[in-house]
């Protein structure tokens, strides 16, 4: 007996939990991904190149850049709408979602929350349209999960009668959009602690080198930043960011989008696999008709549905202003961990076909290796949750 197949997320009717405005935004992004990005993404991934500047303008025209921020040309949508946009973008490719996430939740959010009125007026309107591209310089070659150990330094010019200019020295690593950015939000250790700076990338002493030969996030620009006595006026410092809480607040914002985004990659893998097994015949019947196939699909769909319920709940909490950092760690840990497991399991059902770029499974699985790690590794999020449960910090 056969019947019409059901979408994995339809099992729990998660659409009924999404408001009309949020659903409309999701559908707009889904159509854009299907019409504009899917025809190109395999080639971009294969070539290790993506037209970030062109895409940024297109994302800006859709209102996706800094979409959950208020004012300065930003769309001011709900957090849930932003999450759903991230889901649809990552159903296309994690690298595409990263462009929007880094622009809006890291670079723009840092300026929006911690910047001066002058910094906001100068950068946010152009970043919202995609005319200006931003990056976020926190991670260093030797300090990723431990940003408190950063070696980049910011010192004020002590010259008598000087202007008090800041001088930045150091290196940043694994910076998305770094070599195409117009502005970098850079974090460095000053005498009074860690501070953030808005750095135009044409400032003398600033350079960015694209990182090549990646096996993951190939449809994304990743760079190393070098700061060689980069001189900035006093107005370049983010006035409202002091200590590690500044950059960590931005990471918390970006992690929220990943909670939804990872599910997009997982959903795309599942939908692709269900379509494949319904057509593929082996030992005289369709692959979909075997119990082992259905057991795998059932288990993966259960985890996808649970992840979606978790994401929507966290979105509702964020929209109500009640979302805590530890809860974001729960979402990021669970949904990235389950998404990569789904991508890998789906690949097994396609056999050798699953390793080709004709299908998105291996591409998603490779990308999710990075998503599992960045914005806090799985282990770091386990420790964040552990600290919330016990009151004891176990990071050292």
- Sorted by sequence, the CB contacts under 8 Å of residue 286 that are 6+ apart come out as 277, 278, 279, 280
Structure tokens at 218: 């190939």
Contact 337, 345 (CB under 8 A): no
The count of C-alpha atoms lying within 13 angstroms of the C-alpha of 279, restricted to the half-sphere facing its C-beta, is 7
CA distance 150 to 138: 8
Can 58 be counted among the known catalytic residues?
no
Q: Is 341 helix (H, G, I), strand (E, B) or coil?
A: helix
Active-site residue, selected from the candidate residues 70, 375, 379, 392: 375
Q: Strands (DSSP E) along the chain, which ranges?
A: 134-137, 153-156, 166-176, 183-190, 193-200, 206-210, 222-232, 281-282, 285-286
Nearest to 97 by CA among 267, 302, 244: 267
Nearest to 191 by CA among 167, 175, 208: 167
CA distances from 330 to 211, 262, 304, 310, 376 (A): 31, 13, 15, 9, 12
CA distance 71 to 149: 35
Catalytically active residues are 375
């Amino acid at each position: 007996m056969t019947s019409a197949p059901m979408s994995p997320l339809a099992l729990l009717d998660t659409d009924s939990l999404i408001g009309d405005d949020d659903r409309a935004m999701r559908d707009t992004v889904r159509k854009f991904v299907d019409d504009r990005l899917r025809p190109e993404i395999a080639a971009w991934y294969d070539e290790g190149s993506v037209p970030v500047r062109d895409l940024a303008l297109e994302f800006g025209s859709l209102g996706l850049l800094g979409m959950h921020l208020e004012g300065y040309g930003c769309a001011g949508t709900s957090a849930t709408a932003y999450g759903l946009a991230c889901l649809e973008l990552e159903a296309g490719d994690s690298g595409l979602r990263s462009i929007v996430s880094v622009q809006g939740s890291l670079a723009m959010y840092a300026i929006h929350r911690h910047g001066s009125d002058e910094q906001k007026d100068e950068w946010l309107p152009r970043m919202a349209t995609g005319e200006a591209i931003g990056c976020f310089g926190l991670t260093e070659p030797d300090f990723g999960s431990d940003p408190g150990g950063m070696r980049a330094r910011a010192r004020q010019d002590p010259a008598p009668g000087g202007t008090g200019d800041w001088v930045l020295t150091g290196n940043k690593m694994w910076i998305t959009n770094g070599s195409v950015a117009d502005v970098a939000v850079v974090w460095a250790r000053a005498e009074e602690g860690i501070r953030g700076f808005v750095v135009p990338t044409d400032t003398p002493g600033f350079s960015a080198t694209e990182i090549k030969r990646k096996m993951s996030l190939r449809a994304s620009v990743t760079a190393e930043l070098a700061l060689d006595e980069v001189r900035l006026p006093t107005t370049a410092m983010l006035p409202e960011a002091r200590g590690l809480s500044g950059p960590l607040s931005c990471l918390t914002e970006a992690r929220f989008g990943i909670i939804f985004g990872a599910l997009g990659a997982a959903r795309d893998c599942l939908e692709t696999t269900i379509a494949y097994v319904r057509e593929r015949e082996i030992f005289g019947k369709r692959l979909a008709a075997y119990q082992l196939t259905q057991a795998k699909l059932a288990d993966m769909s259960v985890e996808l549905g649970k992840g979606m319920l978790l994401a929507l709940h966290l979105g509702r909490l964020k929209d109500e202003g009640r979302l805590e950092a530890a809860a974001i760690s729960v979402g990021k840990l669970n949904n990235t961990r389950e998404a990569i497991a789904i991508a890998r399991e789906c690949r097994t059902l396609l056999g050798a076909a699953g390793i080709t770029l004709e299908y998105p499974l291996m591409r998603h699985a490779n990308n999710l290796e990075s998503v599992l790690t960045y914005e806090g590794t799985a282990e770091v999020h386990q420790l964040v949750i552990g600290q919330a449960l016990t009151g004891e910090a176990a990071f050292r």
